[in-house]
Amino acid sequence: MTLRGMTAAWSARATDLAGRLSLPVVVLLWAALSLPNLGLRAFYFEEGRNAMHAMSLLEGGRWFADSVAGERFVVRLPLQTWGVAGFAAIVGGVNEWAVRLPALAAVLATLIVVYRVVRDAVGTVPAAFAALSLLTSVGIIQRLRLGEPDTPIMALSFVAFAVWFGGIRRGRVAPWRWLLCGLIMAAVCGYKGPQPCAYFLAGAGMFALIRRRRADLPGLATAALFPVAAFAAWFAVTREADDLALWLAEFRLRQVSGLPQGGVADHARFAAQVLIEWLPPLLLAAPLWWRMLRSPERAQDLPLALLLYAATVTLVLVAWPGARARYALPALPAVAAAAGLGFHALRDVQPRLLAAAVTIGAGVAAYQLVLVVGVMTLMPDPFTRNRDAARAIAGALAERPAPVLMVFPAHNVAAYLGAGVEAVPQASASTRPGPAWLLGVDAQIAALRRADPRIEPAVPLPVATSPPLALARLAPR
């Protein structure tokens, strides 16, 4: 064999080995970034509320629980709660692992689906790049270890895209694909209502219109009926007099409780946050899409479908009142998949963009590793304050047992206290006969003490929470 032949053979073997190892490398990096010290950090953001929602299901058998600590909570459908409850049965209770594992599993599933979509189009190495760019994106790293429904919604939405585009690639979207997409959309609706379903439905609809695929419209309409039916069933089962106003506020179609409608600065801030969260994959997806738009008559189906999936609803959200960057998270897998296609098409002509994307991704991954392996291990106290505050409160309850009236939404602390916590408006707290414990921020407890002499001085908590919480006992009348 000649030297050139030997070189070619070794190159082919190296390429084959890289292809075989690419997905395991993605999974190993996912594990390294997500699993260390997962249970160390106490509940934060909305995790405590999600935990209490799951507790109400497990303790009372309420599979369609519509309240948390006695407070109406119908704007979150039960699928998130069911997921937490399912993992709680595996890990031995509703704890940080149970709350966060559904989100971690959703991210892993999204990585695999993105990998498969790109691999089927251009091969394993670009597919690995797409998956790694998604994993190390700013938007995913922020939510990788956060037990909220945004990442499961993202995963399900892109799974629906993959099922649908499998039919596009074969020339026809079979009825079973539309039915499966409809079921997946119903599952998406089962987290936060029908609004996140717009990413898949609008993207597929725009593709059908641009490609003049009129035969797809009945199937798309059928798929859209599933989340509508799921939401209608939930609304009918849980409906009370004021629920319509709650849902209008959730859709940002009505201002309640001082929710800002947003000005030009808010819309610009939303757009900037989304663009930052789409880094680094946007660096290669954007030039790919730009080249495609300059020659639309030669546009291939996959990059066009990814662009329509990512951009159609995101552009609407830029103008939508009260939009948050997390609402655009379902678009991120499409941006990452386009980055994989861009890697394949542009790596030889845009080496600087590729280097910038790799540098940003490596920096994001290094930051996450230092945080979860180094900082959280050496300096755990800032990450455990809500749990430490709950232990102090539990000590006071053990000495003088009484129900806890939560006058501030301190679910991330209350979730550790178990049953016996009730959310009440501040104005009605002092009307209770007592005895009871009042849990709220410092200013609230101080105001209640001035208005009601039955309220004893606040019990000092050994840790500083954010915002600063206080606990005071309400004596019986």
Tens digit of each residue's pLDDT (9 = 90 or more) over 85-110: 999 989 988 999 999 999 999 999 99
Distances (CA, A) of 266 to 217, 316, 323: 35, 14, 9
Strand duo 469-474 + 436-441: pairing: antiparallel
Q: Note the pTM of the prediction, 2 decimals.
A: 0.91
Decide if pLDDT at 154 tops 60.
Answer: yes
What whole-number distance in Å separates Cα of residue 81 and Cα of residue 255? Answer: 27
Cβ(151)–Cβ(103) under 8 Å?
A: yes
Tens digit of each residue's pLDDT (9 = 90 or more) over 57-68: 887 767 776 678
Instruction: Specify the pLDDT at position 236.
Output: 81
Residue 330 DSSP code:
G
Predicted confidence band at 160 (pLDDT cuts at 50, 70, 90)? very high
Predicted confidence band at 333 (pLDDT cuts at 50, 70, 90)? very high
Predicted confidence band at 320 (pLDDT cuts at 50, 70, 90)? confident
Cβ(147)–Cβ(84) under 8 Å?
A: yes
β-strand partners of 329: none
β-strand partners of 68: 71
Instruction: Specify the pLDDT at position 349.
Output: 83
Decide if pLDDT at 48 tops 50.
Answer: yes
Instruction: Specify the pLDDT at position 264.
Output: 84
Mean pLDDT to the nearest integer, 249-275: 71
Percentage of residues of the chain with pLDDT beyond 90:
59
Q: How many CB atoms lie within 10 A of CB 331?
A: 26
Instruction: Specify the pLDDT at position 18.
Output: 52
The string over 98-126, giving b where at least 16 C-beta atoms fall within 10 Å of a residue's C-beta and e elsewhere, is bbbbbbbbbbbbbbbbbbbbbbebbebbb
Token pair of 160 as six digits: 């629906």
Tens digit of each residue's pLDDT (9 = 90 or more) over 207-237: 999 999 999 999 999 999 999 999 888 878 7
Q: Which of 81, 98, 54 is nearest to 190 (CA)?
A: 81
**H or E segment and range at residue 41:** none
